[in-house]
Structure 1
Amino acid sequence: MSPLNHYQQPIGSALPNWQPRPFPQRIVLEGRYCRLEPLAPRHASALFQAHQQAEDERSWTWLLREADKDEASFRAWVTSVCELRDPLHFAVIDKRTDSPVGSLSLMRIDEKNGVMEVGSVHFSPLLSRTPASTEAQWLLMRYAFDTLGYRRYEWKCNSLNEPSR
């Protein structure tokens, strides 16, 4: 049973030896269906083409930016974010085709308290609703919890974003 505070609310076990966790690095995370690689300009062309497989731009609705109208604009965005420390963007590579099919990032990284969030999740139709899409999330979670020892991994979404919910 969890320890209780003076209001008789469960508060969890004390963490007297807690130490700040390592900051996530730009590493490759290998899975069975996909591989996560640090997002880089070399991914831009194929990732842009993967997003062009969508029948419309509905997958952009809840992102913080509009869809790029051309590959050059998309490449400029990738270049502008690929070296950021936070958010730390990853390309999702389909291992069957060795091509990028989506991206996601670790963000709001708080190594002192062992908390991070996954965000900017944008999967093309080639990735959505596949085992690789689930595995991409799992690879980041495993990295956060098992490798880095974080205590909390948050995934927030717009309450109207039914596919993400």
Structure 2
Amino acid sequence: MSMRRNEYAQPVGEPVPDWSPRPLPAEVTLKGDFCRLEPLNADRHADELYAANRSGADQRDWTYMFAGPFEDPQDYRRYAEEAAASTDPRHYAVISVGDGMAVGTLSLMRQDPAHGVVEVGNVMFSPVMKRKPISTEAQFLAMRYVFEDLGYRRYEWKCDSLNAPSRKTAERLGFTFEGIFRQAVVYKGRNRDTAWYSVIDTEWPAIERAFQAWLAPENFDDQGIQRRSLADLRTAEAAGQRQRNS
């Protein structure tokens, strides 16, 4: 593909015709088969979230979070009240469809509607969600909302460069690694080099199809074990797209 140049023969980016600022993330409920995302509400969710987050063997999941761990329900409720009152980040609770319990949280943050950029962050999925379809679907619902309902161009994921599980999750979900911002943050009295990842709007259709295929009932056996991984489905989708374009 030839590079676009302006009247001074300088290389310039592709045009973005009819672009306008996007809406901000709102107090919406996003429904899936395994879970729904709804605006965080301390009165409704705090006690359930505290119990879910404390259900593991220890509190290691808070190591790379800016907040926590919380030693008692009252401390967590105060945190949840502050988070629920925020519009950037906009916090959502993950509600299990099976029992209606709040089992995790995430937020849409660093909102830049003028340029169509937003970050998913403050992801705290309790042990109840680990290695289950609900955790993947929660991420899918947020991503679909950003690209399809709000019309954003770029969806970011950032984490401590030492947070191996978070980096692995970003790659599993289809994010592209963009590099390390050195000494980007000081938190909990220590340095953070930040790893940056993103998905852009032109990549979303293929990623969305892979998500849908992975979440389909036929992709799980009688024990709930996946038949094909999300990465395999994305690879198959990419191969099919190349074949269609040839």
TM-score (structure 1 length as normaliser): 0.93
Could you tell me which residue of structure 1 aligns to residue 88 of structure 2?
Answer: 86
Question: Quick check: which one's helix share is greater?
Answer: 2
SS of residue matched to 2:165: coil
SS of residue matched to 2:27: coil
Could you tell me which residue of structure 1 aligns to residue 223 of structure 2?
Answer: none
Encode CA deviations 1:41-86: one digit per residue, 9 max, x unaligned: 1100011000111111110000001211100110111111102110
Could you tell me which residue of structure 1 aligns to residue 21 of structure 2?
Answer: 20
Does 2:50 correspond to 1:64? no
RMSD: 1.5
What residue identity is the alignment partner of 2:100? D
What residue identity is the alignment partner of 1:14? P
- Residue 145 of structure 1, aligned match among 144, 147, 150: 147
Could you tell me which residue of structure 1 aligns to residue 119 of structure 2?
Answer: 117
Encode CA deviations 1:127-153: one digit per residue, 9 max, x unaligned: 122111011111011000000000000
- Residue 132 of structure 1, aligned match among 131, 134, 145: 134
Higher relative contact order by CA 8 Å / sep ≥ 6: 1 or 2? 1
SS of residue matched to 2:57: coil
- Which of these two proteins has the greater Rg computed from alpha carbons? 2
Q: CA deviation at 1:8?
A: 6.3
Against the structure 1 CA distance between its residues 14 and 49, is the aligned structure 2 distance closer, same or farther, given a 3 Å change threshold? same
1: CA distance, partners of 2:2 / 2:107: 33
Q: CA deviation at 1:160?
A: 1.2
What residue identity is the alignment partner of 2:35? C
2: CA distance, partners of 1:4 / 1:15: 13
What residue identity is the alignment partner of 2:17? P
SS of residue matched to 1:126: helix
Identity of aligned residues (%): 48
Encode CA deviations 1:86-141: one digit per residue, 9 max, x unaligned: 00000001111110111000000000000000000001000122111011111011
What residue identity is the alignment partner of 2:68? E
TM-score (structure 2 length as normaliser): 0.63
Find runs of 4+ consecutive structure 1 residues off by over 3 angstroms. Answer: 1-9
Q: CA deviation at 1:159?
A: 1.4
SS of residue matched to 1:93: strand
Against the structure 1 CA distance between its residues 7 and 159, is the aligned structure 2 distance closer, same or farther, given a 3 Å change threshold? farther
Against the structure 1 CA distance between its residues 100 and 17, is the aligned structure 2 distance closer, same or farther, given a 3 Å change threshold? same
Against the structure 1 CA distance between its residues 2 and 28, is the aligned structure 2 distance closer, same or farther, given a 3 Å change threshold? farther
